[in-house]
């Protein structure tokens, strides 16, 4: 049984693409597509890592990350952040709130896969 | 009736006339009918008190003894009035704005309202003037005696001292009666001024009459008289340059500093404008007075026996020719000269003595403060009256003691030199801010000591006061201190010698000590007000209010100004402050004004002290002084310039801040926009890349997956293209460089085209108020308007969440403003747009809610821009059930479509 990844992303096509890639690599992929209850979903599903988009309806990715880092059980959870805004400021914000890794869309599938593997292997 | 008796009668009648004139003028002034009293000619004539008996009788004597030198006495004042009238104008302005009552008041007021200086100047003025008053008494008695001497066996006027006593008493009475009617010296003495103006006319007429008689009656015409002059000694006397210069300076200085001249020139001045008239009229008067001096002197020398007193030629020449009537007129002229001088001088001196010596002493020793003690008004009046009597008594005593032996002119010049000592402190005070009280005191003391030692005491005669050995060998054998050869300068004219040294040392000490000493705050305050009197119309504040109680101030003011005047002053101030009743707040401003009013009655130093007593010692706060005292006019100007600059800078800074804020805002908006664009572009690109990599790299991908992913790539590519199109469209619209293709098109046609080109899907469209006939023709860009309609229909398709979505399109026409408007409402039956979101739906990228519907949120922004270009508008219509947009366009389009 592969490790468990939770993908929090609102763009259906991107969800489909990432799910496809990770599933083929043997990961168990759960998806969630809004920011409101994302933190609760993370606690419920207790994934081995999450992939988190920044621009989410309801609550943005940085906010979610901050809340995750504040809770003891998710303080060390590996988080790969994805953003389409691609500005330096976003990278700084991600570092500040404690993202494990930060990637800009569009990404290469191989990179995402490698990052997920590396983060969970640690 | 003997000539002498007639003379006495005439003199009494003349005196009675003067009383009447003075009385009439007072009454007229009191009733307010004093316009004619305020004529510049009366002012000019009153200045003629400069021509005393010394000038009237003495000038002829002077000419008989020293030739044309007598002219210097007229040239000095002429130069002042013609060339230095601006000095006089400044003095008059200061006198008025500071309510100055005398020379002593001017100097003390300028140097920090110093009591010491006031007393000093007063004493010096009394010392300097007493001989002069004695001189007038002497001239009157001499003239009476001269009259009596032609009367054989007459014993009248034999006792000249008795005559002098009666004259002194009479003058004292007149002066007290008309000189102390008003307490406030700034309320002018109309009666006195009018009387002396009349006397001025009388003495001029008298002198000219004698002159005409001498030239045409005795001398035998102009040519013969001129020939006589050429033949006489007078014509051959050499002009001594240094003596002339010295005398001209001396008379000019005395014209400004003599207490009586200050009285008529400054205190009695009604109107600064009078100076303009006086500037030419007074020199003319002096010229007329001097016109016949030489002929009278020459004829007198010819006609009268050697040894007769040339000072009396004006009188004795007509008498010797048997012209008793003319002689009597001449005597009246001399009488006028003497009396007018004595009256004004004693008024001026009594004001000084009472204000600066008697009242302060009385205030100190009467056992109470100004507010507690009795009626100051009466005390002041009494003090003035007593002072007048005392001053005349002093004059009489001096006359008795000196025995009337000295030549008249000599006493006059000694007196001139004495009061000229005020000049440096006075001029320095009104033109030099650096002048200090210590400097003024030093200069005055040094000047006076030198004057007394080198001129006044020796004038009593060698050996009279100063022993003869001192003249020859100096005091204690110190040769360079010989009274008439100071510092070893020997052989000079004693008068010029004394004037030179006293004025030089006086001025030197004044300047030196002023430079070395530091002025007190109040001195600097006063200095600024005096020197910059033309710039400062209002006095800066020096009293700090609040401490004084208005009632106490009122009581004090009533005692000095009188009840009604004090009450009206207080009422006016209370009204100005907007208070009911008659007690104003003791604001610094009011205290300042009150002090000025009081100083008109009792002098600056005393008024300052009196208010100080009530206000409580702390007359000037440090803050006030810091604020005011250091402000020279330049500093004030500089500071106002700085203030203007600073205002300008503040304004510029504010503008810069506003621009900066705007730029920041624009920059933030631009960042947000770029961030949005980046997101909207990267999202489809992400899908395209991810799926194309999957298609490329994944082995064993199913045909269904392959087909699905290919179509995702395709759709995302189209989305990307549309987004780019929208962005470009919007940027063109926003930049205003859009090209409109304006045509006349029926509205219905555009609407139908829009509906047809939006694949309607399951959306039902209901048109109401449709204009089937196509009569509504719009002049507009049909493609752009259709784009708006398509966007709105597309939004309804995308976002209307009703089960059976319906879009109603309602047309109505509305007359409004300049022209008719076409209004088209697009209303769907969905749940509408939340109130807080309504405000932002027309902004770029403002996709609201969580819809995952395609579109970057640029549609409504584009609609808004298009309608703006077409001269219309799009708004959200709240409260229609579903989402509702209203498009409005003018039917008769205005010409300025943004083409």
Partner A contacted by B627 (CB < 8 A): no
Q: The dihedral of CA B688, B690, B691, B694: what is its sign?
A: positive
Distance CA B750, CA B787 (A): 10
Least confidently predicted of A34-38, B190-194, B411-415, B739-743 = B411-415
Q: What angle do CA B792, B796, B798 make, to 5 degrees?
A: 110
Q: Which helix (H) or strand (E) holds B545?
A: none
What is the ipTM, given to two decimal places?
0.93
Cβ proximity of B106 and B425 under 8 Å = no
Distance CA B869, CA B857 (A): 20
**Closest Cβ–Cβ partner in A14, A24, A86 for B690:** A14
Is A85's CB within 8 Å of B693's CB? Answer: no
- Go through chain A and tell me how many residues it has: 122
Residues of A in contact with B675 (CB under 8 A): 85, 87
Is B686's CB within 8 Å of A58's CB? Answer: no
Is A105's CB within 8 Å of B683's CB? Answer: yes
Domains of chain B: 3-65+137-235+268-407 (no CATH), 539-619 (no CATH), 634-734 (1.10.287.130), 739-890 (3.30.565.10)
Distance CA B427, CA B433 (A): 11
CA B25 to chain CA centroid, Å, is 33
Least confidently predicted of B72-76, B609-613, B868-872 = B609-613
In a mutational test of the B interface, the residue from A7, A85, A90 whose CB has the highest number of chain B CBs within 10 Å is A85
In a mutational test of the A interface, the residue from B713, B845, B850, B853 whose CB has the highest number of chain A CBs within 10 Å is B850
pLDDT at res. B752:
85
Partner A contacted by B714 (CB < 8 A): no
Distance CA B182, CA B350 (A): 13
Burial letters B7-41, b for 16+ CB under 10 A, else e: beebbeebbeebbebbeebbebbeeeebeebeebe
Q: Which segments of B67-189 does DSSP mark as H helices, in order?
A: 72-83, 85-97, 103-110, 115-150, 160-179
Q: What is the mean pLDDT of residues B804-825?
A: 77
Tokens for B660?
């900066």
- Predicted confidence (pLDDT) at residue B793 exceeds the cutoff of 80: yes
Answer with the residue of higher pLDDT: B23 or B710: B710
CATH number for the domain harbouring residue A106: 3.40.50.2300
pLDDT at res. B64:
77
**Closest Cβ–Cβ partner in A34, A58, A109 for B690:** A109
Is A10's CB within 8 Å of B852's CB? Answer: yes
* 3-state secondary structure at position B879: coil
| Full DSSP string of B79-94 | HHHHHSHHHHHHHHHH
Chain B residue with the nearest C-alpha to that of A55 = B679
Residues of B in contact with A56 (CB under 8 A): none
CB atoms under 10 Å from CB of B186, counted, come to: 18
Residues of B in contact with A109 (CB under 8 A): 690, 693-694, 697
DSSP state, residue A3: P
Is A17's CB within 8 Å of B687's CB? Answer: yes
Least confidently predicted of B370-374, B670-674, B872-876 = B370-374
Residues of A in contact with B687 (CB under 8 A): 11, 13-14, 17
Residues of B in contact with A24 (CB under 8 A): 698
pLDDT at res. B601:
67
Partner B contacted by A105 (CB < 8 A): yes
pLDDT tens-place string over residues B209-248: 888 888 887 777 777 777 777 777 665 666 667 778 888 8
Q: The dihedral of CA B488, B121, B536, B279: what is its sign?
A: negative
Q: How confident is the model at residue B22 (pLDDT cuts 50, 70, 90)?
A: confident
Least confidently predicted of B118-132, B147-161, B788-802 = B147-161
pLDDT at res. B855:
60
Distance CA B484, CA B490 (A): 7
Cβ proximity of A40 and A67 under 8 Å = no
- Predicted confidence (pLDDT) at residue B362 exceeds the cutoff of 80: no
* 3-state secondary structure at position B655: helix
Residue whose token pair is 């969440």: B801
Is A14's CB within 8 Å of B679's CB? Answer: no
Residues of A in contact with B685 (CB under 8 A): 105-106
**Closest Cβ–Cβ partner in A16, A85, A107 for B675:** A85
Number of domains in chain A: 1
Tokens for B633?
């006019």
pLDDT at res. B606:
65
Q: What is the mean pLDDT of residues B737-742?
A: 81
pLDDT at res. B235:
59
Q: Give the list of residues 6+ apart from residue B859 with CB closer than 8 angstroms, or none.
A: B726, B791, B794, B795
Cβ proximity of B620 and B521 under 8 Å = yes
Domain range enclosing A55: 4-121
Residue whose token pair is 């600059």: B645
Chain B residue with the nearest C-alpha to that of A10 = B852
Q: Which helix (H) or strand (E) holds B730?
A: helix B703-735
pLDDT tens-place string over residues B333-346: 888 888 888 888 88
Tokens for A97?
């709130």
Burial class from Cβ neighbours inside 10 Å (0-12, 13-18, 19+) for residue B721 reads: exposed
Distance CA B511, CA B441 (A): 11
Is A106's CB within 8 Å of B689's CB? Answer: yes
**Closest Cβ–Cβ partner in B687, B693, B698 for A13:** B687
Is A106's CB within 8 Å of B679's CB? Answer: no
- Predicted confidence (pLDDT) at residue B883 exceeds the cutoff of 80: yes
């Amino acid at each position: 049984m592969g490790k468990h990844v939770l993908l929090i992303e609102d763009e259906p096509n991107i969800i489909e693409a990432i799910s496809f890639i990770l599933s083929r690599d043997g990961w168990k992929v759960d998806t969630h597509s809004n920011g409101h209850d994302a933190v609760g979903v993370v606690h419920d599903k207790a994934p081995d890592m999450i992939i988190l988009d920044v621009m989410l309806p309801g609550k943005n990715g940085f906010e979610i990350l901050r809340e995750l880092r504040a809770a003891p059980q998710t303080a060390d959870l590996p988080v790969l952040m994805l953003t389409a805004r691609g500005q330096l400021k976003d990278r700084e914000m991600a570092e500040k709130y404690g993202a494990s890794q930060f990637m800009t869309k569009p990404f290469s599938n191989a990179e995402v896969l490698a990052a997920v593997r590396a983060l969970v292997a640690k | 009736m003997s000539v002498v008796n007639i003379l006495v009668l005439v003199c009494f009648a003349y005196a009675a006339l003067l009383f009447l004139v003075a009385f009439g003028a007072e009454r007229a002034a009191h009733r307010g009918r004093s316009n004619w009293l305020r004529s510049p000619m009366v002012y000019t004539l009153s200045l003629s008190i400069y021509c005393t008996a010394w000038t009237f009788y003495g000038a002829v004597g002077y000419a008989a003894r020293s030739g044309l030198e007598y002219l210097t006495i007229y040239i000095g004042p002429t130069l002042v009035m013609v060339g230095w009238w601006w000095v006089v104008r400044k003095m008059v302005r200061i006198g008025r704005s500071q309510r100055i009552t005398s020379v002593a008041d001017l100097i003390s007021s300028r140097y920090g309202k110093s009591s010491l200086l006031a007393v000093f100047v007063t004493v010096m003025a009394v010392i300097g003037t007493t001989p002069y008053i004695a001189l007038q008494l002497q001239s009157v008695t001499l003239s009476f005696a001269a009259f009596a001497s032609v009367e054989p066996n007459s014993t009248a006027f034999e006792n000249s001292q008795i005559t002098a006593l009666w004259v002194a008493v009479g003058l004292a009475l007149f002066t007290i009666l008309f000189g102390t009617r008003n307490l406030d010296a700034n309320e002018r003495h109309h009666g006195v001024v009018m009387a002396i103006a009349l006397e001025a006319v009388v003495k001029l007429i008298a002198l000219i009459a004698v002159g005409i008689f001498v030239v045409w009656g005795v001398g035998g015409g102009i040519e013969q008289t001129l020939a006589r002059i050429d033949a006489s000694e007078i014509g051959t006397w050499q002009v001594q340059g240094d003596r002339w210069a010295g005398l001209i300076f001396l008379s000019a200085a005395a014209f400004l500093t003599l207490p009586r001249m200050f009285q008529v020139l400054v205190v009695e001045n009604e109107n600064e404008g009078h100076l303009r008239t006086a500037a030419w009229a007074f020199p003319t008067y002096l010229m007329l007075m001097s016109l016949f001096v030489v002929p009278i002197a020459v004829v007198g020398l010819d006609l009268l026996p050697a040894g007769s007193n040339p000072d009396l030629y004006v009188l004795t020449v007509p008498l010797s020719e048997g012209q008793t009537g003319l002689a009597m007129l001449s005597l009246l002229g001399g009488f006028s000269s003497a009396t007018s001088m004595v009256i004004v001088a004693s008024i001026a001196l009594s004001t000084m003595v009472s204000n600066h010596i008697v009242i302060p002493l009385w205030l100190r020793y009467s056992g109470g403060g100004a507010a507690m003690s009795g009626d100051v008004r009466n005390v002041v009046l009494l003090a003035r009256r007593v002072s007048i009597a005392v001053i005349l008594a002093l004059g009489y005593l001096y006359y008795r003691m000196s025995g009337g032996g000295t030549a008249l002119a000599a006493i006059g010049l000694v007196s001139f030199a004495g009061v000229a000592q005020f000049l440096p402190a006075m001029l320095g005070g009104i033109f030099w801010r650096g002048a200090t009280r210590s400097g003024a005191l030093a200069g005055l003391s040094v000047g006076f000591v030198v004057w007394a030692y080198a001129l006044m005491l020796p004038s009593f005669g060698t050996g009279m006061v100063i022993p003869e050995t001192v003249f020859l060998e100096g005091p204690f054998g110190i040769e360079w201190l010989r009274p008439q050869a100071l510092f070893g300068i020997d052989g000079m004219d004693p008068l010029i010698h004394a004037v030179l040294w006293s004025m030089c040392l006086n001025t030197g000490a004044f300047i030196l000590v002023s430079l070395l000493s530091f002025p007190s705050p109040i001195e600097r305050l006063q200095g600024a007000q005096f020197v910059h009197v033309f710039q400062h119309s209002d006095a800066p504040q020096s009293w700090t209010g609040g401490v004084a109680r208005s009632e106490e101030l009122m009581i004090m003011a009533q005692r000095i100004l009188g009840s009604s005047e004090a009450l009206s002053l207080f009422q006016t101030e209370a009204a100005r402050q907007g208070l009911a009743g008659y007690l104003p707040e003791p604001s610094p401003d009011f205290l300042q004004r009150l002090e000025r009013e009081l100083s008109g009655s009792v002098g600056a130093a005393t008024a300052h002290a009196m208010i100080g007593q009530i206000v409580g010692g702390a007359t000037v706060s440090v803050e006030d002084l810091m604020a005011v005292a250091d402000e020279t006019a330049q500093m004030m100007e500089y500071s106002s310039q700085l203030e203007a600059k600073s205002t300008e800078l503040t304004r510029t800074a504010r503008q810069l801040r506003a621009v900066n804020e705007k730029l920041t805002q624009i920059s933030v908006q631009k960042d947000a926009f770029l961030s949005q664009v980046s997101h909207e572009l990267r999202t489809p690109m992400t899908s395209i890349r991810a799926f194309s990599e999957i298609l490329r790299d994944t082995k064993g991908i199913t045909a269904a997956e392959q087909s699905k992913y290919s179509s995702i790539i395709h759709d995302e590519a189209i989305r990307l293209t549309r987004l780019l199109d929208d962005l470009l469209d919007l940027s063109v619209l926003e930049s205003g460089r859009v090209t409109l293709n304006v045509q006349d098109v029926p509205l219905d046609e555009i609407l139908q085209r829009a509906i047809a080109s939006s694949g309607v899907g399951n959306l039902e469209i209901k048109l109401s108020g449709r204009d089937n006939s196509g009569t509504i023709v719009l002049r507009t860009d049909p493609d752009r308007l259709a784009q708006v309609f398509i966007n709105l229909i597309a939004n309804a398709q995308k976002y209307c969440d009703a089960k059976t979505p319906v879009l109603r399109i309602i047309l109505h026409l509305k007359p409004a403003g300049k022209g008719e408007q076409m209004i088209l409402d697009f209303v769907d039956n969905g749940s509408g747009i939340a109130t807080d979101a309504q405000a932002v739906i027309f902004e770029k990228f403002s996709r609201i809610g969580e819809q995952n519907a395609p579109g970057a949120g640029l549609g409504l922004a584009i609609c808004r821009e298009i309608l703006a270009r077409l001269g219309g508008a799009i708004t959200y219509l709240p409260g229609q059930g579903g989402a509702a947009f209203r498009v409005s366009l003018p039917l008769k389009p205005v010409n300025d479509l943004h083409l």
